[in-house]
């Protein structure tokens, strides 16, 4: 948001897009985008689905039984893909 404000302020002072881009270390396209938008940019974190999410309950059960990591891996490898992953 800070750079967005700087871009707007510099443009009102009559500074060219190229000079704004150089000064703020932004691309000219980004400067143009900031000048077109009436509101500051809003960034959202992406949500990722982890590969182990379908196995969460199984892994928790194995951890309660004090399995070590290699045994958990081997158990999951012998089970094959989960039903949620394959769509079965």
Comparing 51 with 19, the larger pLDDT belongs to: 19
Comparing 50 with 67, the larger pLDDT belongs to: 67
Instruction: State whether 32 and 58 are in the same domain.
Output: no
User: Would you say residue 43 lies in a domain?
Assistant: no
Tokens of 68: 């070590």
User: Would you say residue 47 lies in a domain?
Assistant: no
Range of the domain at 14: 2-36
pLDDT of residue 87: 47
pLDDT of 34 over the 80 cut: yes
For residues 56-62, average pLDDT:
90
Burial 56-68 (b: 16+ CB within 10 A, else e): eeebeebeeeeee
């Amino acid at each position: 948001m800070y750079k967005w404000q700087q871009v707007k302020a510099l443009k009102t002072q009559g500074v060219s897009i190229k000079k704004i881009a150089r000064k703020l270390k932004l691309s000219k396209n980004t400067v143009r985008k900031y000048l077109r938008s009436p509101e500051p940019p809003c960034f959202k974190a992406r949500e990722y689905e982890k590969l182990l999410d379908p196995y969460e309950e199984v892994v928790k059960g194995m951890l309660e039984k004090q399995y070590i990591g290699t045994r958990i891996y081997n158990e999951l490898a012998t089970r094959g893909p989960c039903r949620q992953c394959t769509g079965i």
